[in-house]
Amino acid sequence: MHFYFQVKAHKQFGMGKDLYEKYDKVKAIYDKVKEITGIDVAKISFEGPEEILNQTKYTQICILTMSLAILEILKQQGIEADMSCGLSLGEYSSLIYAKALDFVEGVKIVQKRGEYMQNLCPKGDCWAMSAVLGLDDNKVEEICKKVKEGFVTPANYNYPGQVVISGDKQGIDIATELMKAEGAKKVIPLKTSGPFHTEKLKEASKALEEFLKNKEIRMPQIEVIKNIDAKPYTSKDNIKEILAKHVMSPTKMSDSIKYMLENGIDTFVEIGPRKNFI
């Protein structure tokens, strides 16, 4: 069995350029996304500048485009998934792959998602995210609750021993010192522009929910594991409501991987924005 995992990795200049130059179908995907969005994804991905690529309204569409391009190459090579999930933005790659979302509509939704998460994010430069390495989930949660000055909360449960925290700089700084004192191997600041996957994105969540009302989203044709609870989408789920809540809810990738291991997945294919991926 196979599994595709779209990771919300650090963006980097040149991501996807080698694939773009090698495969005509990759070029076609980049061209199609540019036609849909009006954004020159290839130029931003390959050349920057950094202040543009780091804006989430561009970061998200650039990473989605590369992810869909990689999935197309894997498909050409006969590699197909029985189950899929994706970290944060990556859930959209999974839903498009599983035919829950049409390619064009999926791209349009991600474009709006990025705009809402940037434009309806709390204003100011006081927001931050950091990756905590070497502490278990419970310890990270416990330390975040101890922080009374500022705001900080777990946002991404990536892997055992790796949790991303999100909040304002004061809260992040205090939590960082406490986590290092408790034995964290590293606490790495991330290049992000907001307190994503926290209650601070409530307005963005509301706007996305309204935008999704008139969009067609079907049940996935293969199992897609949800970020918010690490379980597959079912016919009982309101997918639009879940995707709206997604932007202000922690992602549970660690539990998603555990679910897949417990349900027979034995081959994992991880994709994301890295040079020379294939």
Is the Cβ–Cβ distance between 3 and 82 less than 8 Å?
A: yes
Fold of 3-121+199-271: Malonyl-Coenzyme A Acyl Carrier Protein; domain 2 (3.40.366)
Distance, in Å, from the CA atom of 165 to the CA atom of 88, rounded to the nearest integer, reads 14
Whether 127-189 and 3-121+199-271 are alike in CATH topology: the answer is no
Place of tokens 């998603």: 256
Q: Where are the domains of the chain?
A: 3-121+199-271, 127-189
DSSP secondary structure letters along 123-158: SSS-EEEEEEES--HHHHHHHHHH--SS-EEEEEEE
Phi-psi region of 264 (alpha: psi -120 to 50; beta: other; left: phi over 0): left
CA 44 and chain centroid, separation:
19
User: Which of 84, 88, 93, 130 is labelled catalytic?
Assistant: 88
Q: What does pTM read for this prediction?
A: 0.92
Q: Which CATH superfamily is domain 127-189 in?
A: Malonyl-CoA ACP transacylase, ACP-binding (3.30.70.250)
**For 48-78, what is each residue's pLDDT tens digit?**
888 898 888 999 999 999 999 999 999 999 9
**Is 67 labeled as catalytic in the residue annotation?**
no
**Is 166 labeled as catalytic in the residue annotation?**
no
Question: When comparing pLDDT for 124 and 185, which is higher?
Answer: 185
User: Which of 45, 84, 130, 197 is labelled catalytic?
Assistant: 197
**For 79-92, what is each residue's pLDDT tens digit?**
999 999 999 999 99
Question: 15 falls in which pLDDT band (50, 70, 90)?
Answer: confident
